[in-house]
Chain A
Amino acid sequence: MTKSWRLWLPLAVFAAFLGFTAYQLQQPKDDTIASAMLGKPLPRFALRPAVDGLPGAAQTDFADGKPRLLNIWASWCLPCIAEAPQLKALQEQGVEIVGIAIRDRPEDVARFLAQHGNPYTRLGADDLSEVQFALGSSGVPETFVVDGNGVIRHQHIGDIRAGDVPKLLARLEEAR
């Protein structure tokens, strides 16, 4: 008898899989979860530099009157590669972008920047996703518009497509 229940185990595992996927299929697909931090000041953080040659990032860098983008990314994330040209374009429009690299290694970050260009003025390393969670971000890439008082004004979830560049510029203008 002890053995017979084990033979039903695969079916039980499969039933759990079915349950999950059936539930997921019923869920509306595109409800993005907005951060609860919208409209609130940045959480306190001070991150060491993620790569040689760029300063790290801290919330004290922000409240100096100039709106900025805060970009959450990682060198191991594929959509971040797709996003790189748009960040570059934003930088060329004069936007200051502070980056936070999630669970990354300095050499990988350096390689990514060498390969896809460096749009950042500052780049902090968030090895345990602590700052990422504090910001209410749940994935990479994500981008926040932070106004001159250090308050989070807008959250962009997912990679920045070419069409998003003017929208983000408009958001930055509003945050001025």
Chain B
Amino acid sequence: MIAELGLAALWLAAALAALQLAASVLSLRAGEGGETLGGVIRPTAILQGGVAALSFVLLMWLFIRTDLSVKLVAMNSHSAKPMIFKLAGTWGNHEGSMLLWVTVMALAGALIAAIERRLPEATMRATLGAQAFVGLGFYAFLLFSSNPFERLPRPVPEGMGLNPLLQDIGLAFHPPTLYFGYVGLSVAFSFAVGALLTRQVTPDFARAMRPWVLGAWVFLTIGITAGSYWAYYELGWGGWWFWDPVENASLMPWLAATALLHSASVLAARDALRAWTIMLGVIAFSMSMVGTFLVRSGILTSVHAFAVDPERGSFILALLAINIGGALALFGWRAGSIAEGERFALVSREGALVVNNVLLSAILGVVLLGTLYPLVTEAFDVRVSVGPPYFNPVSAIFALPMLAVMALGPLLRWRQDAVRRVRRPALLAAGLAVAGAVIAWLIAGPAGLLPTLGVALAVAVGIASLLPLRGRRLTRTPLPIWGMVLAHLGIAVSLLGMASESAWSQERLAALAPGESAEVGPWRVTLTKVVPVAGPNWTAIEGDMDARYQSGSPIPIAPQARSFWSPSQTTTESALVTRWNGQLYAVIGEAVGDGRWQVRLWWKPLVTLIWIGGLLIALGGVLALIGRVLGDLKRRSVLAKRLRWRGEQPV
């Protein structure tokens, strides 16, 4: 019964989206006369969000109860699985994750309808219409090609489990976080389409769009950071970024959204970069959809194995063609008629932000090209795999100058500025950067060119990121400024971690018998014993070890090699010891014979800064978001008071 109810809710939500779209189109056609019809749009959008959420909750309920008469549950769950992973199983598969996708989209639409008051009414209607249009495509995809509520002819006695790699608390919440980001960008997309339709690309439009982009961007940042950490400790390879297509799929929307945030700031503050901001609004969500398509259609091979189904691939491709193609065609048709915005000098805050935008877009292009390249060569019967030797140096070519501009940009004035005014802070940052690199060489030993530049730029960006606070009273500094400072500082922190990890990591592969030790960097690790252990749905070999930092006291660690039995698969559970100056990373491998075990050890100085930086960036986004929302509320109440003063009713 629950499954049928869920399916019914999904149909109803789709119908409401159709109504929302129709009302939007008709009211825009009617122009001034469309008031009654226009009044339907907001309530419909809110209702659609509620009904879609109900459908998702019902699917969660089926997973919680492990209802094995439902195909999706039988394929992806198991009665012996811990409850938290049963719950996570809801979105740990194709159909469930697509349902999550439309649910988030519908909820985002409902949220716009409920709280957005800045947009002109016509743009608002067009925006909600666009949101409904994109949503309808995904409803159709679910209902016609990926029904999550499909029943089996008869219930099966036991489910087929969940990929054991995915049975991890970090991963349980990683995909939904990313989805909030991907799909949150649909708001920027709909705003852009709405503004193109009504030709109202104004600073107020940018101010209205900015909080939504910020929200989505924060989720993306957290999702990428968490995903990177998960890959680091779960895959047991000691790396934290692999340029895998799925990782790239999450990085590309982030790059586009980052560029969008900055260009929206220019539009909001200076009424410049109108068409470019619209373009980025379209691109950001397009990258989310392209990424999802590349990953879900199986067209690219990836270590993230998803169910491959060419029919679904064709369906998503058609959706891409309609949504992105439609938006880009609208852009080509309308963008010319959007008046050019204000002009500005090259050396100015806007100038720096434009350079930042161009370089971010270049990095986006580099990643997109590298991700698609195997696809292109395959058309000519050549199979290649593009890896770090391409991505690292080529993206660095653009990333390094971007970071340099990022350090100076916030110090420049709007409209026009002189280089000589920022010469002193620039020299200070540059001097400290050189000093930082020299000190790093002295402490940790020589490093390659890229890591050395990385350290130097990290110091420069870190120092420069704090300079906008100079001369301000900290208690009265607006939250968005704090947000910018923290986010830029986060970039510096993360960069320092990346540079240090790539330059000064040490690794050691040893075959140890119990009682023997191996050294890596300042650590000495002794294998005490190897014992079998068992969990609810796995058994494992556990290596009990004592890790000693220099002459410190021993810290017990216990990496495991786990074997899951449903489905049968082995995973490595690395053991980590975190210190302020880095992490020890230990993995136990197979028995070598003669009572020895393979033990892999890494010492990774400052590696944790990579993810701490990521969290700082997200925190900066949160502060900016709070600041923007509070500012908006304040503006609204002032406006309401002024109207009351004049004896009018607030609208």
Residues of A within 8 A of B286 (CB): 14
Q: Does B382 contact A (CB under 8 A)?
A: yes
Q: Does A25 contact B (CB under 8 A)?
A: yes
Verify B279–A4 contact, CB threshold 8 A. Answer: no
Question: Which residue of chain B lies nearest to A1 when distances are taken between CB atoms in the complex?
Answer: B336
Complex Cα gap A79–B237 (Å): 12
Closest Cβ of chain B: how far from A11's Cβ, in Å?
A: 4
Which of A16-24, A41-49, A51-59, A166-174 forms part of the interface with chain B?
Answer: A16-24
8 Å CB interface, B363-379 against A:
372, 375-376, 378-379
Partner of B328, one of A14, A20, A22, A85: A14
8 Å CB interface, A138-164 against B:
138-140
Q: Which of A25, A33, A115 has the most CB of B within 10 A?
A: A25
The dominant DSSP class at the A interface is helix
Given contacts A10-B331, A10-B332, contact A114 B317 (CB under 8 A): no
Residues of B within 8 A of A17 (CB): 290, 372
Closest Cβ of chain A: how far from B321's Cβ, in Å?
A: 5
Given contacts A18-B321, A78-B242, contact A11 B383 (CB under 8 A): no
Given contacts A10-B331, A25-B314, contact A18 B387 (CB under 8 A): no
For A1-31 the 0/1 string (1 means CB < 8 A from B) is: 0011001101100110110111111010100
Given contacts A25-B299, A77-B385, A103-B389, contact A11 B328 (CB under 8 A): yes
Question: Which residue of chain A lies nearest to B313 when distances are taken between CB atoms in the complex?
Answer: A25
Q: Does A63 contact B (CB under 8 A)?
A: no
Closest Cβ of chain A: how far from B249's Cβ, in Å?
A: 14
Q: Does B347 contact A (CB under 8 A)?
A: no
Q: Does B32 contact A (CB under 8 A)?
A: no
8 Å CB interface, B463-484 against A:
none
Q: Does B432 contact A (CB under 8 A)?
A: no
Residues of A within 8 A of B509 (CB): 114-117
Verify A11–B329 contact, CB threshold 8 A. Answer: yes
Residues of B within 8 A of A139 (CB): 383-385
Given contacts A25-B317, A111-B507, A115-B507, contact A140 B385 (CB under 8 A): yes
Closest Cβ of chain A: how far from B350's Cβ, in Å?
A: 20
Q: Does A81 contact B (CB under 8 A)?
A: yes
Verify A11–B331 contact, CB threshold 8 A. Answer: yes
Q: Does B600 contact A (CB under 8 A)?
A: yes
Q: Which of A8, A14, A76, A117 has the most CB of B within 10 A?
A: A14
8 Å CB interface, B294-320 against A:
297-299, 303, 308, 310, 313-314, 317, 320
8 Å CB interface, A119-149 against B:
138-140
Verify B313–A76 contact, CB threshold 8 A. Answer: no
Verify A21–B298 contact, CB threshold 8 A. Answer: no
Residues of A within 8 A of B303 (CB): 78
Given contacts A25-B297, A76-B387, contact A20 B375 (CB under 8 A): yes
Partner of B299, one of A8, A24, A85: A24
Per the CB 8 Å criterion, the residue count for chain B at the interface is 46
Verify A24–B378 contact, CB threshold 8 A. Answer: yes
Q: Does B388 contact A (CB under 8 A)?
A: yes
Question: Which residue of chain A lies nearest to B310 when distances are taken between CB atoms in the complex?
Answer: A25
Complex Cα gap A81–B587 (Å): 15
8 Å CB interface, A51-88 against B:
76-79, 81, 85
Q: Does B335 contact A (CB under 8 A)?
A: yes
Question: Which residue of chain B lies nearest to A114 when distances are taken between CB atoms in the complex?
Answer: B509
The dominant DSSP class at the B interface is helix
Residues of B within 8 A of A24 (CB): 299, 375, 378-379
Closest Cβ of chain B: how far from A161's Cβ, in Å?
A: 13
Question: Which residue of chain B lies nearest to A140 when distances are taken between CB atoms in the complex?
Answer: B385
8 Å CB interface, A73-108 against B:
76-79, 81, 85, 103
Residues of B within 8 A of A140 (CB): 385
Residues of B within 8 A of A29 (CB): 298, 308, 310
Question: Which residue of chain A lies nearest to B293 when distances are taken between CB atoms in the complex?
Answer: A21
Residues of B within 8 A of A115 (CB): 507, 509, 600
Q: Does B381 contact A (CB under 8 A)?
A: yes
Residues of B within 8 A of A77 (CB): 385, 387
Question: Which residue of chain B lies nearest to A11 when distances are taken between CB atoms in the complex?
Answer: B328
Verify A20–B379 contact, CB threshold 8 A. Answer: yes
Verify B317–A18 contact, CB threshold 8 A. Answer: yes
Residues of B within 8 A of A11 (CB): 325, 328-329, 331-332
Q: Does B324 contact A (CB under 8 A)?
A: yes
Closest Cβ of chain B: how far from A146's Cβ, in Å?
A: 22
Complex Cα gap A14–B298 (Å): 20
Verify A7–B331 contact, CB threshold 8 A. Answer: yes
Verify A14–B325 contact, CB threshold 8 A. Answer: yes
Verify A23–B379 contact, CB threshold 8 A. Answer: yes
Verify A76–B389 contact, CB threshold 8 A. Answer: yes
Verify B299–A33 contact, CB threshold 8 A. Answer: no
For B325-353 the 0/1 string (1 means CB < 8 A from A) is: 10011011001100000000000000000
Residues of A within 8 A of B290 (CB): 17
Complex Cα gap A25–B296 (Å): 12
Verify B375–A81 contact, CB threshold 8 A. Answer: no
Question: Which residue of chain A lies nearest to B387 when distances are taken between CB atoms in the complex?
Answer: A76
Partner of B336, one of A4, A33, A81, A103: A4
Verify B375–A21 contact, CB threshold 8 A. Answer: yes
Verify B383–A138 contact, CB threshold 8 A. Answer: yes
Residues of B within 8 A of A78 (CB): 242, 244, 303, 387
Residues of B within 8 A of A117 (CB): 509
Residues of A within 8 A of B297 (CB): 25
Residues of A within 8 A of B237 (CB): 81
Residues of A within 8 A of B310 (CB): 25, 29
Closest Cβ of chain A: how far from B638's Cβ, in Å?
A: 39
Complex Cα gap A138–B242 (Å): 21
Verify B388–A33 contact, CB threshold 8 A. Answer: no
Complex Cα gap A15–B324 (Å): 10
Given contacts A21-B375, A25-B313, contact A8 B332 (CB under 8 A): yes
Verify A15–B325 contact, CB threshold 8 A. Answer: yes
Closest Cβ of chain A: how far from B301's Cβ, in Å?
A: 9
Residues of B within 8 A of A25 (CB): 297, 299, 310, 313-314, 317
Given contacts A24-B375, A76-B389, contact A7 B317 (CB under 8 A): no
For B268-289 the 0/1 string (1 means CB < 8 A from A) is: 0000000100010011001000
Complex Cα gap A29–B282 (Å): 31
Complex Cα gap A71–B346 (Å): 54
Sorted nearest first, the 3 A-B pairs with minimum C-beta distance are A8-B332, A11-B328, A139-B383
Other A-B pairs beyond A4-B336, A77-B387, 9, CB < 8 Å: A3-B336, A7-B331, A7-B335, A14-B286, A17-B372, A79-B385, A85-B590, A115-B509, A115-B600
Chain B residues with CB under 8 Å of chain A are: 237, 242, 244, 275, 279, 282-283, 286, 290, 293, 297-299, 303, 308, 310, 313-314, 317, 320-321, 324-325, 328-329, 331-332, 335-336, 372, 375-376, 378-379, 381-385, 387-389, 507, 509, 590, 600
8 residue pairs from A and B, CB less than 8 Å apart: A10-B283, A17-B290, A18-B317, A20-B375, A76-B388, A114-B509, A115-B507, A138-B382
Chain A residues with CB under 8 Å of chain B are: 3-4, 7-8, 10-11, 14-15, 17-18, 20-25, 27, 29, 33, 76-79, 81, 85, 103, 111, 114-117, 138-140
